[in-house]
């Protein structure tokens, strides 16, 4: 058995099921789509034990991934996760010791570990082209399912503001999924294919863009802007250009995303164009509150995944103070500090730095799978989305799955490069000793 093997139809189908379940299409089938505006009754009714049906489904999914890892790959393949991610999971589990809600913390850690296991398996079995195929199939199912859901149950498929959420629990989840599908389809369309396949991809791309527009979600659009900048930067990295010229596209697009999120008058103007309030749904109020909470427990945080979990959670005071019923920090970096403190943030930044450095070193390589541009787009999207959403190393989250897949895939390519270089050096040593030309 090998650490990685070529994907087959079963792997693709398994990936499609994984993507659909992790991206949260279950609420449409188990009655989990909220109706009306968030209220105190909604947050008061949050169950610390979670939704039993969804937990059973996700445990079955993650159990299948763990079984597949144990059966199909060598145990040493776990090291392709990298030390930072493995230590982060251990640190998150340890946070149950100081969490005010230790049992929910453990359940959230199990969900995170399951998501990481799924990312590991997909990273070992699916390359960039195969993952794009899986996203294409999942997007087709999600688009058709959302349209059918909107026709059959319009009061559920559209939220209280009239924005499309389809099969998803929230319009932002729909928008984020459709934006990732757009990246996958762009990746597919950049590769040679027949006219029929290109036409089908183009039609699905337009459908995904339409869903994204109907969702009225701004964050995924900013993510696509950042994805473009990262794509250009990593494409230029192996061209021999100077470092400032290489980094300029990523810096400009990421800076544009930040300005559009935090940029004072620019933010107000953008909000008016989109018909939103200048605080972008009150997120600035959340950020101010969260910064104060972080100052109180900066090193270790409050315990993984529980800061906003019901009236007994540390964040409940914000609801009573502001009458604004948020369930996360609306910023992935701030949420990570709440969950795991500066230690958890350092571990994530370590994993991110290793990924970026190795990806840059791979730029310019002519791999058939076009791994670098796919991961570059995904990384830009991931970072930009976390400026106003909380999706860094969260369990049951598609962006976390994609990040882990990227880490595993890059580490796998790095390991293969090391094996190849080592074999070449050994050959040269033998050739020099034996006078082999």
Tell whether 2 is covered by a domain. no
The percent of residues in the chain predicted with pLDDT above 70, rounded, is 76
3-state secondary structure of 4: coil
For residue 214, the model assigns a pLDDT of: 92
**CA–CA–CA angle 293, 394, 158 (5° rounding):** 95
Residue 436 has pLDDT above 80, yes or no: no
Rounded distance, CA 96 to CA 104, Å? 9
Residue at 86 is within a domain = yes
| Helices 371-385/171-189 angle, 10° precision | 160
Query: Looking at the domain assignment, is residue 3 inside a domain?
Result: no
Lowest pLDDT segment from 11-25, 276-290, 363-377: 276-290
Query: Alpha-carbon distance 248 to 246, whole Å?
Result: 6
Range with lowest mean pLDDT among 41-45, 242-246, 386-390: 41-45
pLDDT digits over 309-341, tens only? 877 888 888 877 777 777 788 899 999 999 999
The pLDDT of 143-165, averaged and rounded, is 89
Mean pLDDT value across residues 109-120: 95
pLDDT score at 188: 86
Assess whether pLDDT exceeds 80 at residue 408: yes
CA distances from 118 to 148, 293, 342, 348, 395 (A): 29, 32, 26, 18, 11
* pLDDT, averaged across the chain: 82
Could you tell me if 280 and 271 are in contact, meaning their C-beta atoms sit under 8 angstroms apart? yes
Residue 435 has pLDDT above 70, yes or no: no
Give pLDDT tens digits for 194-207. 788 889 999 999 99
Q: Can you say whether the dihedral through the CA atoms of 281, 282, 283, 286 is positive or negative?
A: negative
Instruction: Give the C-alpha separation, 221 to 46, whole Å.
Output: 30
Residue 200 C-beta-side C-alpha neighbours within 13 Å: 11
Classify residue 301: in a domain, yes or no. yes
pLDDT at 36 over 70: no
* Residue predicted with more confidence, 251 or 268: 251
- Whole-prediction pTM: 0.86
pLDDT grade for 242, boundaries at 50, 70 and 90 = low
Instruction: Give the pLDDT score at 354.
Output: 94
Per-residue DSSP letters for 9-50? Answer: HHHHHHHHHHHHHHTT-THHHHT----SS--HHHHHT--TT-
Strand partners, 158: 164
Structural domain range at position 53: 9-434
Q: What is the pLDDT of residue 399?
A: 95
Residue 164, pLDDT > 80, answer yes
User: How much is the average pLDDT of 113-124?
Assistant: 94
Residue 10 confidence (pLDDT) above 80 = yes
pLDDT band of residue 342 (cuts 50, 70, 90) is: very high
Q: Give the pLDDT score at 372.
A: 86
Residue 278 has pLDDT above 60, yes or no: no
165 in a domain, yes or no? yes
Average pLDDT over residues 366-386: 83
Does residue 322 sit in helix, strand or coil?
helix
Above 80 in pLDDT, residue 346? yes
Phi and psi (nearest 5°) for 264? 55, -115
CA distances (Å), origin 304, targets 63, 118, 336, 391: 22, 20, 8, 13
Structural contact between residues 411 and 358, judged by C-beta atoms closer than 8 angstroms: yes
Is a pLDDT exceeding 50 seen at residue 437?
no
Confidence at 16, pLDDT banded by 50, 70, 90 = very high
How many domains are contained in the chain? 1
**CB contact set of 401 (below 8 Å; sequence gap of 6+):** 18, 19, 22, 115, 118, 119, 122
Count the alpha carbons within 13 Å of 79 in the hemisphere toward its beta carbon.
Answer: 6
* pLDDT at 239 (0 to 100): 58
Compute the chain's Rg from CA coordinates: 22
**Directed axis angle between helix 283-296 and helix 332-362, to 10°?**
90
1 assigned to some structural domain: no
pLDDT of 43 > 80? The answer is no
Identify the CA nearest to 30 among candidates 55, 7, 13, 10.
55
Identify the band that residue 245 occupies on the pLDDT scale cut at 50, 70 and 90. low
The Cα 294–Cα 413 span in angstroms is 38
Residue 229 lies in a domain: yes
Asked if residue 143 is part of any domain, the answer here is yes
Band the pLDDT of 113: cuts 50, 70, 90. Answer: very high
Q: What is the pLDDT of residue 259?
A: 61
pLDDT at res. 347: 97
Reply yes or no on whether the pLDDT at 424 is more than 50.
Answer: no
248 with 231: CB under 8 angstroms?
Answer: no
1: confidence class by pLDDT, cuts 50, 70, 90? very low
Is residue 27 over pLDDT 50?
A: yes
Looking at residue 226, what is its pLDDT?
85
């Amino acid at each position: 058995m090998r650490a990685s093997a070529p994907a087959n139809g079963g792997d693709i189908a398994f990936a499609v099921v994984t993507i659909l379940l992790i991206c949260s299409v279950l609420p449409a089938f188990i009655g989990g789509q909220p109706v009306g505006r968030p209220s105190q009754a909604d947050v008061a009714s949050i169950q610390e034990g979670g939704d039993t049906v969804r937990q059973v489904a996700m445990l079955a999914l993650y159990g299948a991934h763990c079984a597949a890892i144990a059966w199909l790959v060598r145990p040493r393949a776990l090291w392709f996760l990298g030390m930072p991610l493995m230590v982060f999971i251990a640190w998150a589990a340890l946070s149950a010791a100081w969490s005010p809600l230790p049992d929910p913390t453990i359940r959230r850690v199990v969900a995170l570990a399951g998501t990481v296991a799924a990312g590991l398996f997909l990273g070992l079995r699916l390359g960039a082209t195969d993952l794009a195929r899986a996203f294409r199939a999942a997007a087709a199912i999600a688009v058709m399912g959302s349209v059918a859901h909107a026709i059959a149950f319009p009061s559920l498929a559209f939220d209280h503001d009239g924005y499309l959420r389809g099969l998803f629990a929230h319009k932002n989840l729909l928008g984020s999924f459709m934006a990732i599908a757009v990246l996958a389809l762009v990746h597919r369309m950049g590769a040679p294919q027949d006219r029929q396949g290109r036409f089908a991809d183009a039609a699905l791309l337009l459908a995904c863009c339409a869903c994204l527009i109907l969702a009225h979600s701004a964050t995924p659009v900013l993510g696509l802007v950042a994805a473009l900048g990262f794509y250009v930067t990593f494409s230029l990295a192996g061209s021999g250009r100077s470092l400032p010229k290489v980094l300029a596209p990523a810096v400009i697009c990421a800076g544009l995303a930040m300005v559009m999120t935090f940029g004072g008058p620019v933010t107000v103007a953008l909000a008016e164009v989109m018909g939103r309030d200048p605080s972008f749904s009150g997120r600035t109020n959340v950020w101010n509150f969260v910064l104060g909470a972080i100052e109180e427990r900066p090193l270790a945080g409050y315990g993984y995944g529980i800061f906003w979990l019901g009236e007994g959670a540390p964040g409940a005071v914000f609801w009573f103070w502001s009458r604004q019923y948020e369930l996360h920090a609306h910023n992935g970096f701030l949420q990570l500090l709440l969950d795991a403190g500066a230690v958890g943030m350092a571990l994530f930044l370590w994993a991110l730095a290793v990924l970026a450095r190795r990806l840059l070193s791979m730029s310019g390589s002519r791999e058939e799978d076009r791994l670098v541009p796919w991961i570059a787009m995904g990384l830009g999207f991931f970072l930009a989305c976390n400026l106003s959403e909380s999706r860094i190393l969260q369990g049951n989250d598609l962006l976390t799955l994609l990040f882990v897949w990227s880490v595993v895939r890059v580490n796998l390519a790095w390991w293969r490069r090391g094996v190849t270089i080592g074999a070449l050096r050994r050959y040269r040593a033998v050739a020099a000793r034996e006078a082999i030309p």
